[in-house]
């Protein structure tokens, strides 16, 4: 499962931050998942429940914020937030755009117990 390896990578990052802050446990993990990241939040949550066992985050909650998709137009240079199924410039309708947001999987913040 794709999501499981993502979770394992994420938990390594979480444990590193937790250790740097002398945390005993991690209570909450906030993530931002871009709509084009290819990650399904429900699958990520399920994978997280498996992956967190035996880590500092074994009891942690996972909060997933779904990020917007933002494109930058190659024609007029404007940035606009767009629906996933319609990646065109919202100002001039140009389809040659670069995705500047939406592909990311970001660790936003942690709540820890020290």
Q: 10 and 50 in contact (C-beta within 8 Å)?
A: no
Provide the minimum distance between the beta carbon of 98 and Zn ion in the complex, in angstroms, as a whole number: 11
For residues 63 and 94, which CB has a smaller minimum distance to Zn ion in the complex?
94
For residues 1 and 76, which CB has a smaller minimum distance to Zn ion in the complex?
76
| Chain centroid to CA 31 | 5
Provide the minimum distance between the beta carbon of 84 and Zn ion in the complex, in angstroms, as a whole number: 18
For residues 41 and 68, which CB has a smaller minimum distance to Zn ion in the complex?
68
Provide the minimum distance between the beta carbon of 70 and Zn ion in the complex, in angstroms, as a whole number: 13
Q: Kindly list the distances between the CA atom of residue 54 and the CA atoms of 16, 49, 51, 57, in Å, as whole numbers in the listed order.
A: 15, 11, 8, 8
Q: Which residues bind Zn ion (CB under 5 A)?
A: 73, 75-76, 89, 91-92, 94
Provide the minimum distance between the beta carbon of 55 and Zn ion in the complex, in angstroms, as a whole number: 45
For residues 8 and 90, which CB has a smaller minimum distance to Zn ion in the complex?
90
**3-class secondary structure, 6:** helix
Ordered strands of the 97-101 beta sheet = 79-82, 69-73, 97-101
């Amino acid at each position: 499962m794709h999501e499981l390896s993502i979770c394992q990578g994420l938990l390594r990052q979480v444990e590193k931050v937790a250790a740097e802050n002398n945390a005993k446990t991690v209570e909450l993990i906030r993530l931002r998942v871009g709509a084009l990241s290819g990650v399904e939040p429900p699958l990520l949550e399920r994978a997280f429940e498996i992956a967190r066992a035996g880590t500092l985050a074994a009891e942690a909650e996972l909060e997933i914020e779904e990020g917007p998709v933002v494109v930058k137009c190659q024609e007029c240079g404007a940035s606009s937030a767009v629906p996933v199924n319609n990646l065109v410039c919202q100002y001039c309708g140009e389809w040659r755009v670069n995705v500047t947001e939406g592909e990311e999987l970001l660790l936003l913040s942690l709540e820890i117990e020290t």
